[in-house]
Amino acid sequence: MFNKLKKIAAKVAIKYIKNNNIIGIGSGTTISHFIDLLSTEKHNIKGIISASENSTKKLKKYNFNILNINKIKKIGIYFDSADEINHKMQMIKGGGAALTNEKIISSLSEIFICIVDESKYVKYLGIHPVPIEIIPLAKNFIIKKLSYIGAIAKLRINTVTEHGNLILDVYNLNLDNPVKIEKYINNIPGIVTVGLFTKRCADIIIIGNKNYTVSVINKKK
């Protein structure tokens, strides 16, 4: 069922592509559905910045123009999903281990559209563990540092990121103040990226609901 909900939400997201813009594309199953629908808007897409090798591979199959992030100044809209998103548009991301690229690309984008099924739209973040990408030699040090705030960090097995790093999935974090936790984790040496997106939140959430309707929520100005 969730796949169907991701698809109907992705279909609505496609309508936001306009004016022959450069767009950013995240990664994961929701985005894979989104890419399948993207061909209808090819004439409106100048080029794409992709967040993962998997997304790039699929986009190339459809003959999209993949751009180098170092050669462009800004991106119009970034389309991605999340593992969880709350009412403040803050997110947990990184289920697919592409969080570093996703954070960079979303930070360069004028608008972030997050496409989810209803199960991911939560009141409080923290049902899923928070993924963090880390430099391999800092693993034990970081696990210890996180234990000081009561968190339990588990190494994601058989996972090496596109940057050659490791992923820790962090459980038992107190996320009453996710902004503070994002900053705290960012300050630990050896952390590359934390999968909490509280600084660069989404601007628009598109939700595929269980009754097969789609809700669109815009950030309050």
Strands lying side by side in the sheet with 91-92: 84-85, 91-92, 196-197
Output the six-digit token pair for 62: 């459809």
- d(C-alpha 169, C-alpha 131), whole Å: 4
Residue with smaller CB distance to ligand 5RP, 24 or 94 = 94
What residue type is 14 in one-letter code? I
Window 21 to 50, contacts with ligand 5RP (CB under 6 A): 26-30
Question: Is 83 a binder of ligand 5RP (CB under 6 A)?
Answer: yes
CB of 81 to ligand 5RP, least distance (A): 4
Question: Is 81 a binder of ligand 5RP (CB under 6 A)?
Answer: yes
Question: Is 98 a binder of ligand 5RP (CB under 6 A)?
Answer: yes
The radius of gyration of the chain from alpha carbons, rounded to an integer in Å, stands at 17
β-bridge partners, 47: 22
Catalytic residue among 41, 84, 102, 118: 102
| Residue 85, burial from CB neighbour count under 10 angstroms (0-12, 13-18, 19+) | buried
- Check if 182 is active-site: no
Residue with smaller CB distance to ligand 5RP, 28 or 76 = 28
- d(C-alpha 32, C-alpha 19), whole Å: 23
CB of 141 to ligand 5RP, least distance (A): 24
Window 115 to 154, contacts with ligand 5RP (CB under 6 A): none
What residue type is 204 in one-letter code? I
Question: Is 102 a binder of ligand 5RP (CB under 6 A)?
Answer: yes
- d(C-alpha 50, C-alpha 58), whole Å: 10
Question: Is 169 a binder of ligand 5RP (CB under 6 A)?
Answer: no
Binding footprint of ligand 5RP on the chain (CB under 6 A): 26-30, 80-83, 93-99, 102
The residues carrying an active-site annotation are 102
